[in-house]
Amino acid sequence: MTIFHSMNTTASALTTQRLRMDVISSNIANVDTTRAKQVNGEWQPYRKKQVVVTEQEGTRFGSFLNIAMGKASKEAVGNGVKVSQIREDSATPFKLTYDPTHPDANEEGYVQTSNVDLLSEMVDLISASRSYEANITMFNANKAMLTKALEIGKG
């Protein structure tokens, strides 16, 4: 483990939360999109995208060495997070809106619209934004500690 380990861990969280905010922004921008993808010759509305986050594997030699020497437990050596995939939400059905004048309306006058829930997306966006801010605070605190440690040697 190096002195920059916590900075790398925080940086991985910053990158992940930034991507999460980008995906949420895309969902919000496409909330009214009725023609996002063509399947079997028919247009389907936009499907909500979801970010799947997992922990990064401890692939550094120092992590394995510390575990082997008993200086750290496997749970104690964190390496941050990563986005394992961005998947479409196929479990939530599309919303039906009655608008017989819409060009995508079916025979009964209903239009299939995106399965994006604007309220939950806004809550997720606030959560991701707060997490991003907390990680920036952590990064800056770590940077200040490392700067103070370097000043000790100047004495």
What are the pLDDT digits (tens) for 18-59?
999 999 999 999 999 999 888 888 889 999 999 999 888 765
Length of the chain: 155
Query: Taking the CB of residue 13, how many other CB atoms lie within 10 A of it?
Result: 20
Q: What is the pLDDT of residue 12?
A: 92
The residue-averaged pLDDT of 64-75 equals 63
Burial of 117 (0-12, 13-18, 19+ CB in 10 A): middle
**Alpha-carbon distances, residue 147 vs 3, 136, 154, 155 (angstroms):** 11, 16, 11, 13
Q: What is the pLDDT of residue 80?
A: 85
Statement: residue 77 has pLDDT above 70: no
The residue-averaged pLDDT of 95-106 equals 92
The residue-averaged pLDDT of 108-125 equals 95
Statement: residue 137 has pLDDT above 90: yes
Q: What is the pLDDT of residue 86?
A: 96
- Residue 66, amino acid: N
CA distance 53 to 13: 10
Statement: residue 63 has pLDDT above 90: no
Reported pTM: 0.81
To the nearest whole percent, how much of the chain has pLDDT over 90? 64
Identify the CA nearest to 4 among candidates 152, 153, 149, 154.
149
Tokens 């799947």 sit at which residue? Answer: 52
